[in-house]
Amino acid sequence: MRKLYIIGIGAGNPEYVTVQAIKALNAVNVFFFLNKGEDKADLLLLRKEICERYIEGQSYRIVEATDPIRDLSIADYTARVERWHHERVLLYEALMERELGDEESGAFLVWGDPSLYDSTLRIIDQIAARGKIPFDYEVIPGITSIQALAARHRIPINGIGDSVLITTGRQLSASIPDNIEKLVVMLDGQCSFKTLPDQDYDIFWGAYLGMDDEVLLSGRLSETANTIETVRNELRNRHGWVMDTYVLSKRSEGK
């Protein structure tokens, strides 16, 4: 039976790849890589570098395919993502059927960890539910951008006895629960931290975490927000893409 590995490869640094992931890499016959365009070629090259660095004495194939583009004409966000996921289901299913032999193993290399704001597991679940191709699959966890961010800023994510909210920029701009002291924000292309009515937070921000182009900024949100937005826009214009994550920590009285 075909087998798939969904391998978390960490947040940008090849040295974030775990021993478990390396063992899985060396069991794979076919790697499926999505080409997201010239602007994001770095993401594809890093995956190839990881294979070249860690696979020993094992022949393997790399199959590239063009990633479907989200249809921005679909106004509803959920419907737009579901349509995009369906297109990925059909693409992944076709790749597996055409490129993966009955007794071979394939892999998708997921940035960060497959469980956190990544669609791969949902796509694979839908392919399995369709029942067209019999296969088994295994998930290998990876170091998230959250872990990398905390390590690079040398901060704990949670306060003593406090909860932590992991959310997106889209949700941040909607509301923040009153009892949350610490927030981790991902997928914020609009710098939603600037819209918070309460700016009394410290922010710990990072982009391209673990990569050569890594940038770290921190400070009081009310004093740092504009700088982060300017730097983020400059980085996006320079590279054509940007991956960033940040922590917001409620300031204590008198701090």
Whether 80 and 113 share a structural domain: yes
pLDDT at 39: 72
Q: Is residue 255 part of a domain?
A: no
Total domain count, the chain = 2
- pLDDT, tens digit, for every residue of 45-64? 899 999 999 999 889 999 99
For residue 161, the domain's CATH number is: 3.30.950.10
Whether 150 and 171 share a structural domain: yes
Whether 15 and 135 share a structural domain: yes
Whether 131 and 194 share a structural domain: no
Q: For residue 253, name the pLDDT band (cuts at 50, 70, 90).
A: low
For residue 40, the domain's CATH number is: 3.40.1010.10
The answer on pLDDT for 179 being more than 80 is: no
Q: Is residue 57 part of a domain?
A: yes
What is the 3-state secondary structure of the chain? CEEEEEEECECCCHHHCCHHHHHHHCCCCEEEEEECCHHHHHHHHHHHHHHHHHCCCCCCEEEEEECCCCCCCCCCHHHHHHHHHHHHHHHHHHHHHHHCCCCCEEEEEECECCCCCCCHHHHHHHHHHHCCCCEEEEEECCCCHHHHHHHHHCCCCCCCCCCEEEEEHHHHCCCCCCCCCEEEEECCCCCHHHHCCCCCEEEEEEECCCCCCCEEEEEEHHHHHHHHHHHHHHHHHHHCCCCEEEEEEECCCCC
The answer on pLDDT for 187 being more than 80 is: yes
- pLDDT, tens digit, for every residue of 90-120? 999 999 999 999 999 999 999 999 999 999 9
Mean pLDDT of the chain: 92
User: Per the structure block, which two tokens stand in for 123?
Assistant: 């796509």
How many angstroms separate the Cα of 237 from the Cα of each of 207, 230, 240?
A: 14, 11, 5
Whether 135 and 149 share a structural domain: no
pLDDT at 113: 96
The answer on pLDDT for 137 being more than 60 is: yes
Whether 194 and 125 share a structural domain: no
Mean pLDDT of 181-206: 91
Whether 210 and 223 share a structural domain: yes
Looking at 122, 140, 158, the residue that finishes a domain is 140
Mean pLDDT of 226-249: 94
Identity of the residue numbered 117: Y
Whether 104 and 174 share a structural domain: no
Q: Is residue 230 part of a domain?
A: yes
The answer on pLDDT for 160 being more than 90 is: no
The answer on pLDDT for 88 being more than 90 is: yes
Domain that holds residue 135: 2-140
- pLDDT, tens digit, for every residue of 69-80? 888 889 888 899
Whether 41 and 131 share a structural domain: yes
pLDDT at 236: 93
How would you list the strands of the sheet with 201-207, edge to edge?
164-168, 182-186, 244-250, 201-207, 215-220
Whether 119 and 190 share a structural domain: no
Percentage of residues in the chain with pLDDT exceeding 70? 99
Looking at 123, 140, 157, the residue that finishes a domain is 140
Whether 121 and 208 share a structural domain: no
Q: What are phi and psi of 67, to 5 degrees?
A: -70, 135
Q: For residue 172, name the pLDDT band (cuts at 50, 70, 90).
A: confident
Q: Is residue 185 part of a domain?
A: yes
Whether 111 and 149 share a structural domain: no
Looking at 111, 140, 169, the residue that finishes a domain is 140
Contact 205, 229 (CB under 8 A): no
The answer on pLDDT for 175 being more than 80 is: no
The answer on pLDDT for 203 being more than 90 is: yes
pLDDT at 181: 85
Identity of the residue numbered 198: D
Q: For residue 22, name the pLDDT band (cuts at 50, 70, 90).
A: very high
The answer on pLDDT for 17 being more than 90 is: yes
The answer on pLDDT for 254 being more than 90 is: no
